Amino acid sequence: MIPRLTDRVASATERTIEVLDGHEIVREGEAGEEMYLVQSGAVTISKRVDGREVVLGEVGPGDFFGEMSLLESLPREATARANGTTRLLVLGPGALLVRLRRDPSLAVEMLHRLSGRLRRLNARLGTDADFTDDMGLGA
């Protein structure tokens, strides 16, 4: 179904949400096209590995998460859960463009994070034969 024009306009603006302690913000595997900027509180990021939940880290005020799904329109790679009452600024793709016009340093921070991830993957590519095979780059 084609979204109504008003919905499209609404999706291009930012909104703020408050999430209570322990509540899920995004769930691994679910579709989503928004990223989240933490205004206050904290968010625990976790991922299911071999049937158990592994905590990948925690993000706090000034940090962000969910940008991979926004940029690629692919399902969430991890689950994010509020750690204490948490206030978040939610950006859709249109809102991100507007935000970057106002605050270009956010783009530098996102590139910095993506570059770090790529570097870690490259390092793993060099040492993990199984991973290299998975990528179709194995001998």
Partner 1 sequence: MKLEVEVDQLLIISDLHLGNPASQAAANLPALLDEVLTPDWTLCINGDAVDLTQGTVTGIARDLRPVVKRLRDFSRAGGRLLYAIGNHDLVFEHFLTELPFEVAPFFNVRCGDHRIRVEHGHAYEPTYARYPGLYELGGRMAKPLLVAHADVYRLWSTTQRAVDRWRRGSGEYPHHVAADALFERGFDVAVFGHTHLPEVTEREGGTFVNCGDWLRDTTLVRVTAAGVSLERLVETEDGLAVQRFAGRRA
- Binding interface with partner 1 (CB under 8 A): 14, 37-40, 60-64, 89, 99, 102-106, 108-109, 112
Nearest-angstrom CA–CA distance, 93 and 87: 20
CB of 114 to partner 1, least distance (A): 13
Q: Which is nearer to partner 1, 105 or 122 (CB)?
A: 105
Q: How far is the CB of 117 from partner 1 (least distance, A)?
A: 15
Which DSSP helix (H) or strand (E) runs through 9?
Answer: helix 5-11
The minimum distance between CB 5 and partner 1, in angstroms, equals: 26
Closest to partner 1 by CB, 71 vs 106, is: 106
Count Cβ atoms below 10 Å from residue 63 Cβ, excluding itself.
Answer: 15
Residue with Cβ nearer partner 1 (56 or 106): 106
Q: Which is nearer to partner 1, 78 or 88 (CB)?
A: 88
The answer to whether the beta carbons of residues 26 and 75 sit under 8 Å apart is: no
Residue 37 CB, nearest distance to partner 1 (Å)? Answer: 4
Q: 6-36 in b/e burial notation, b at 16+ Cβ within 10 A?
A: eeeeebeeeeeeebeeeeebbebeeebebbb
Residue number, 10 or 100, with CB nearest to partner 1 = 100
Q: Minimum Å distance from CB 109 to partner 1?
A: 6
